[in-house]
A and B are shown apart, each in its own frame.
Chain A
Amino acid sequence: MDQIQDKIKEFLSRFFKNHDLQPDEDIFALGFVNSLLAMQLVAFVEKEFGIRVDDEDLDLDNFRSIRAISNLVARKTGTTA
């Protein structure tokens, strides 16, 4: 799980420069998420973790924080969050 969160943090950190993003920090509240990042984020988690983000996964709460994304990945891969 830590590895998943590390990879998500590494990806997101490119968009949140000079900010040490914490696992439960709300990335939407930080105000840097535009539609292009939203698409990139989906492509990233699919490619990095070999999962498919489906229409029913389109919920902001699944993408709100490093931990939320990590939980989504865990659910999709059947690993323990």
Chain B
Amino acid sequence: MKIELTPEQRALRSEVRDFVARKIAPHAGQWDHEEAIPREIVERLKERGWLGSMVPAENGGKGLDMIAYGVLTEEIGRGCSSTRSLLTVHDMVCQGILRWGSRSQKESWLPRLARGEILGAFALSEPEAGSDANGIRTTATAVDGGFVLDGTKKWITFGQIADLFLLFAQLDGKPTAFLVERGPGFSAVPIRGMLGTRASMLAELKLEGVRTENMVGRPGFGISHVVGAALEQGRYSVACGAVGIAQACLDACLAYTRERRQFGQPLFEHQLVRALLSDMITNVRAARLLCMRAGYLRDAGDPGSSAETMVAKYFASTAAARIAADAVQIHGGNGCHEDFAVSRFFRDAKVMEIIEGSTQIQQSAIARFELEEL
């Protein structure tokens, strides 16, 4: 057993880390405040091939392995969870098409998604359907040459600017996946005032007679297989992004506790503060290892990768939320103000416990997996 990054993965980490330090982290607070990421940063991500980076070379992507993908997502997430969200949802669309798209859908969409010419977003949630995905009410009706969609989608990350939506609707009462472009009958209403990942440009999508020719997979397999494949990708991305938040909190706390003095000595010298730091360090490392294990199994096509990805997401997101809360605690009053990034990390970390399957959904499923394995 060997747990270390390859030279290529280390080189990627250095490249992303340098980019994030210069182009993302210094501005993330402002983007959070403005509730939008600038188009320019999307362009930079495109140039580097970091959108759809796991799309195989034969489909026009970089073909990053899952460990490298995890490194990329962690480092972006370390600087800005909203920017990481763009990678997450875009790559979920790529994964849905890669896994269950037809040959012509793969040929038509994947190269453009991998080049970042179009942005993808994942449209499952509705006002009345969150964790209970089968309860979606959006309908699809078969018509000559395609389908007509009617309904409402809510909390759609980057729904304000995405070009292509992997969207789910009931076709004759069967949950089914579709690819939907902006066009007649489609509108996206921005959602503002989110708690965290505020620059993720969420939208509520209204579909009134929207036409599409593109069903992904087969009727009735939308949730079980297409959502399943896309969400596993999303969970892995969110898990690695949560490690990024946790690492950013740790970095901030190590710097702060060396400089900040109370009772005549640096905070670092106080044992109770060290206890918090030690828990952070341990949990960051544990979360990262769980992510690497999930990534390894995903690369291997192992049937156990779904369960391990859930374990990684559950652990990393809950650890990040705890670590971010402790980071605010260590920063005291400063940590409660937007001038200190830990206040943003705290809000962003909470979101990680909800998206791509809530903590409770993971808890419910992980135990069931294990019981089945006995």
Contact = CB atoms under 8 A, between A and B. Distances in A.
Contacts of B220: 60
Nearest to B218: A58
B301 A47 contact: yes
B225 A58 contact: yes
A44 B303 contact: yes
B366 to A, nearest CB: 10
Contacts of A42: 225
A35 B63 CA distance: 27
Contacts of B365: 36
A58 B215 CA distance: 13
B372 A14 contact: yes
Interface residues of B, number: 28
Contact count band on A = 20 to 34
Contact of A35 (B217, B223, B300, B304): B223
Given A15-B372, A55-B100, A55-B102, A38 B228 contact: yes
Given A55-B216, A58-B100, A39 B302 contact: no
Contacts of A46: 301
Given A55-B102, A55-B218, A59-B218, A39 B225 contact: yes
**Which interface residue of B225, B232, B369 has the most chain A CB atoms within 10 A?**
B225
A58 B221 contact: yes
A43 interface: yes
A40 interface: yes
Contact of A39 (B102, B229, B373): B229
Contact of B303 (A35, A47, A55): A47
18 contacts: A15-B372, A35-B223, A35-B225, A36-B228, A39-B229, A39-B232, A40-B304, A43-B305, A44-B303, A47-B300, A55-B100, A55-B101, A55-B216, A55-B217, A56-B218, A58-B217, A58-B225, A59-B218
Interface of B: 100-102, 216-218, 220-221, 223-225, 227-229, 232, 300-307, 365, 368-369, 372-373
